[in-house]
A and B are shown apart, each in its own frame.
Chain A
Amino acid sequence: MEIFVQLLINGVIAGGTYALAAVGYSMVYGALKFINFAHGSIAMVGAYIAFVLVTMADVPLVPAFLGSMLLTAGLGVMVERVAYRPLRRAPKLASLTTAIAVSFVLDAAVMIIMGADIRTFSLTGMRSYQIGPIYITPVQGAIILTSLVFMVGLYGLLTRTKLGKAIRAVADGISLAEVSGIDTNLIISAVFAIGSALAAASGALIGMDTNLQPTMGFIITVKAFAAVVLGGLGNVWGAVVGAFLIGIVENTGVWFIPPVWKDSIAYGILILALFLRPSGIFGKKEEAQVTVL
């Protein structure tokens, strides 16, 4: 039982990092209806920016973290301008192609600049604390806390502010938003900025909890993609639920099944869930669109 509590906490920690990446992914899907396969690579860049700020520019941890979110937001906006906007009216697969290409470019660029070495934040004094039967480190606490704070913040943004409502409006119908007088290009830029900033948060936290590698983005892309689909495409809260579900299932499942099947468990659950609910947990039937064309 005690171990199970620890496994659950481990799942929540993993889920928190997935969730931060998944909401941005989901927002981009909502706005543009295509899978941004470069999202994980953007998270990776965010992790490296935070790393450079902390270890090379001696910026304290929290400002570095926020700075990385800001800079990565800019990167996300730029990527959308260069690689996705020209293809807005092309078949969706064309955007998917450039997304894959963007991840090639980002991964290679970071490898050229930073080298292939594994990096670490070398955070000192990161001992774990024992609370009852569970062990948790400050970074892991921060992961849970940060993901909660950002989720609540995002909820406030999307439901209370004009920008947030416009983001939801664009996701509901981009041409209707346009004819309502909303500058949808601006809103899409905002979506990429917010999504990329949250991805950077995810990447930086994963980097602080474990380590950094130029190829770390791919697994983030895959896990976030799974979370988004499991939750129901385009449904931001579904993505959050999906992310925590995947994190928890992976971590508790490994207790019973050899860990070499870890990813398979996650996929198995995903497949089962979609078999039962073909449009995700919170997805609506009509939103199950075909990205291909």
Chain B
Amino acid sequence: MELALVVHLLVVITIYGILAISLNLVVGATGLFNLGHAAFYGIGAYTSALLVKAGVPWLLAVLASMAMAGFVAFIIGIPTLRLVGDYLAVVTMGLGEITRAVFKNWISLTRGPMGLPGIPHASILGIEFDTADKYLILGIICLLITFVVAERILYSPFGRVLKGIREDEAAVQALGKNTYRYKMAVLVVGSAMAGLAGSLFAHYITFIDPSSFVMWLTFFIFLIIVLGGLGNNLGAVVVTVVFVALREGLRFVGLPLWLNPAALQQLIFGILLIIATIFVPRGLIPERKVVYE
């Protein structure tokens, strides 16, 4: 494989890696069944792209996009976090689709389905990340920061409460913890991280449109964190690498033209997924045991 393609895929991996870690906090660690994650990613992408196009420096724009994604998560969290399990899943899925409908139909702001072209590359203090190589450095830095922050959260007393909520919310409530606040906090933080990923995406591809933020993306990230081992950030990153490499690597397998190679790639990917899940239903790196107080 040529280096430029490898670099590109690595950039994609850093972006998806951040998404996987952020969703892992919400779903893996806390057990909040969030199917609307792609929406926060999209909010980050649009916020950042529009601000930078309006002349705001990228560094400020990315902070704003994280704040915006976090803020929307907060608003969405108010009514939804009372719901549990699959009810939360369907509501977050619905809100994700409504958000996408806003991207699509607020044409004066987002240009709707036409998409936003010509987004400038990210730059910090005059250093412009205008090639994939440079962007990879930026992506890795952001991924590392996200990773460290997520690990800090998971292995702090706060993180133990999150896992407690996942295992048995009533028990945590019985200990006098306001679980609603904890859930809100993790949703906001996770969504802000998704906003960061969105900003990175927008300024890398330099073009965004609503079709980049579909529910399938959330599903895709879901598959990653399940196979990585719920609540395990290292697993999430490793599986992101494996997934992207496998999904795009299948392009290089010489499949016969008459067999519809693109569909066959999807078929093979699906079968490999089933086999992998059956082999390691708890993920490649099962969660480390947590000692409860």
Interface residues of A (CB under 8 A from B): 29, 35, 37, 82-83, 86-87, 90-91, 93-94, 96-98, 100-105, 107-109, 111-112, 115, 222, 225-226, 229-230, 233, 258, 260-261, 263-264, 266-268, 270-271, 274-275, 278-280, 288-293
Contact = CB atoms under 8 A, between A and B. Distances in A.
B97 A264 contact: yes
A101 B94 contact: no
Nearest to A109: B267
A274 B91 contact: yes
B281 interface: yes
Given A94-B281, A98-B277, A260-B104, A274 B222 contact: no
A105 B271 contact: yes
Contacts of B215: 222
B254 interface: no
Given A105-B267, A268-B94, A268-B98, A289 B230 contact: no
Q: Which 5 A-B pairs have the closest CB atoms?
A: A267-B94, A90-B281, A104-B270, A101-B273, A105-B270
A87 B270 contact: no
Contact of A267 (B95, B223, B281): B95
B223 A290 contact: no
B60 interface: no
Q: Is the interface of B mostly helix, strand, loop or mixed?
A: helix
B119 interface: no
Given A226-B90, A267-B94, A278-B82, A94 B105 contact: no
A109 B268 CA distance: 10
B281 A100 contact: no
Interface in B267-285: 267, 269-271, 273-274, 277-278, 281-282
A282 to B, nearest CB: 13
Interface residues on B, range: 35 or more
Given A97-B273, A101-B273, A264 B282 contact: no
B101 A263 contact: yes
B213 interface: no
B129 to A, nearest CB: 34
B6 interface: no
A37 B91 CA distance: 16
A94 B273 CA distance: 10
Given A226-B90, A288-B84, A108 B223 contact: no
B126 interface: no
Contact of A104 (B31, B98, B273, B277): B273
Nearest to A227: B90
B226 A290 contact: no
Interface stretch (B8-16, B152-160, B257-265): B257-265
Contacts of A280: 87
B180 to A, nearest CB: 13
Contacts of B27: 93, 292
Given A94-B281, A233-B87, 8 more contacts: A93-B27, A96-B222, A97-B227, A108-B264, A258-B105, A261-B105, A267-B97, A291-B86
Contact of A108 (B86, B91, B95, B267): B267
B79 interface: yes
Given A267-B94, A292-B31, A293-B167, A107 B87 contact: no
Nearest to A289: B85
B95 A97 contact: no
Nearest to B227: A97
Given A100-B222, A112-B267, A94 B277 contact: yes
Which residue among B27, B84, B94 has the maximum number of chain A CB atoms within 10 Å of its CB? B94
Contact of B33 (A226, A270, A291): A291
Contacts of B32: 292
B166 interface: yes
B89 interface: yes
A108 B266 contact: yes
Contact of B31 (A108, A263, A268, A293): A293
B83 interface: yes
A93 B225 CA distance: 10
B98 A98 contact: no
B89 A291 contact: yes
